[in-house]
Amino acid sequence: MNGAHDLGGGHGHGPIAPDPNEPLFHGDWERKAFSLTLAMGFTGQWNIDQSRFARESMAPGRYLETSYYEHWAHGLEVLLADRGLVSEAEIQAAKPIGPAKPVQRILNAEDVVATLQKGGSAKRDEASAGPAKFNAGDRVIARNINPPTHTRVPRYVRGRAGVIERVHGVFVFPDTNAKSADEKPQWLYAVRFEGQELWGPDAEAGACVYVDLWDDYLDPA
Amino acid sequence: MPHDGHHHDHDHGSELTETELRVRALESLLVEKGYVDPAALDVLVETYEKNVGPRNGARVVAKAWDEADYKAWLLEDASAAIASLGYTGRQGEDMIVLENTPETHNMVVCTLCSCYPWPVLGLPPTWYKAAPYRARSVSQPRSVLAEFGVTLPDTTEIRVWDSTAETRYMVLPMRPDGTDGWSTEQLADIVTRDSMIGTGLVEAVS
């Protein structure tokens, strides 16, 4: 979706202002937003692409005015409501109104460290995708697509020409995984775009951008 | 609660209070409904507050500086080379390490959200997740680097890697002069988080 999350190339957001003494979490609510999101992710009610789509679906004005963990908290609420796990009325009342719905798994404290260390790769068997459409060195154009649903092709590369730099292997395709949990595994590449191609005469000299893009985002140039 | 540490131009304290209340309500609801184990929440937070952070990545970098074979493996198959030190899992399953040289400077961003290699760097700092860095790193990397106090020669190509997929990138910074004969522990001590994102350089000060 063409949401406020798609920030690449934007102006007017102010200085970067790194804070060398920043704490990991700014207050307890951030710890809660973080840990609740991870723990609920483990229940198997949604995948990572559905989770990203829930966050980026925040109204653009609000997205830009709120912080990272506010995006997380918003995304969690959207998913919980959509899956019928927690309703707005329950959040308002701060207590359960209906019975709990069964979930696939619950993350127990003693399993947390092993679960995090195990992770869950989005890489799939190469046989699940057929041959790669492109090889390193091929010239490609990122498709100009504008789906209102989740996608990972940023606006600033759409319609732009680049060169395949690396072939990463076969990975879950976010667009269909977010829509219907259809993994549609396909080849993923790091594509190099020259600064001039992306930003025209305003590009800084001697700079380029690499973007990870799947087969379904690319055409031969 | 004051939201210290935030650097927004305008105050939105009332919104945060609302968020705090809702997050608190969510926590009690999810625990009461039996979807989350409250003790698991503590372990999740503790893991990233105490055990998983940029010290992991610094050990990877120091070992690569020290051992040519390890460096070659790291650049060839980063996931395996990093896993051999025990750093694996969530948000770092498929790692790629990019080597900085006098000719090429790599830096990493996620313009669409805030993808970051957790097993080696921990959770990302606020600036990495906020709009200014995500917006400008791809279009004005030299001016962004200047805000971090980094100025590179015109002859150094800057490569910005936008983490749009589940591949996670870490930068192997250049080893500074004056560190010959240092132990890997000494080397790891000077490797900064920002140098592994590509927004900093490593200096030989301990």
For B156-194, what is each residue's pLDDT tens digit? 999 999 999 999 999 999 999 999 999 999 999 999 999
Return the SS3 of B135: helix
Where does A28-118 sit in CATH, by number? 1.10.472.20
Q: Do A137 and A165 meet the contact criterion of CB atoms below 8 Å apart?
A: no
Q: Which of residues 165-194 of B touch A (CB under 8 A)?
A: 165-167, 194
Average pLDDT over residues A208-220: 98
B1 band by pLDDT with thresholds 50, 70 and 90: very low
d(CA B52, CA B55): 8
Indicate whether B8 pLDDT > 50: no
Question: Which are the catalytic amino acids of B?
Answer: 110, 113-115
Residues of chain B found within 8 Å of residue A173, distances taken between Cβ atoms: none
Mean of the per-residue pLDDT values of chain A? 97
B7 band by pLDDT with thresholds 50, 70 and 90: very low
| Residue A218 Cα to chain centre, angstroms | 19
Q: Would A28-118 and A123-220 be classified into the same CATH topology?
A: no
pLDDT given for residue B16 in this prediction: 60
pLDDT given for residue B14 in this prediction: 54
For A13, the closest of B3, B132, B155 (CB atoms) is: B132
Q: Do A122 and B91 meet the contact criterion of CB atoms below 8 Å apart?
A: no
Angle B129-A67-A180 from CA coordinates, rounded to 5°: 75
Indicate whether B2 pLDDT > 50: no
d(CA A122, CA A172): 5
Where does B53-197 sit in CATH, by number? 3.90.330.10
pLDDT given for residue B205 in this prediction: 80
User: Would the CA dihedral through A127, A133, A135, A140 be positive or negative?
Assistant: negative
**Helix, strand, coil % in chain B, rounded to nearest 5:** 45, 10, 40
Residues of chain A found within 8 Å of residue B22, distances taken between Cβ atoms: 73, 77, 91
Question: Burial code of B30-60, b = ≥16 C-beta within 10 A, e = fewer?
Answer: beebebbbeebbebbbebbeeebbbebbbbb
The residue type of B11 is D
Domain ranges of chain B: 13-49, 53-197
Domain ranges of chain A: 28-118, 123-220
Mean of the per-residue pLDDT values of chain B? 93
d(CA B86, CA B78): 13
Tokens of A207: 């700079």
Average pLDDT over residues A11-21: 95
ipTM of the complex in this document = 0.98
Residue A201 CB-density burial (10 A; 0-12 exposed, 13-18 middle, 19+ buried)? exposed
Partners of B108 in beta bridges: B161
Where does A123-220 sit in CATH, by number? 2.30.30.50
d(CA B153, CA B163): 25
For A98-157, what is each residue's pLDDT tens digit? 899 999 999 999 999 999 999 999 999 999 999 999 999 999 999 999 999 999 999 999
For A57-88, what is each residue's pLDDT tens digit? 999 999 999 999 999 999 999 999 999 999 99
B10 band by pLDDT with thresholds 50, 70 and 90: very low
Return the SS3 of A71: helix
pLDDT given for residue A164 in this prediction: 98
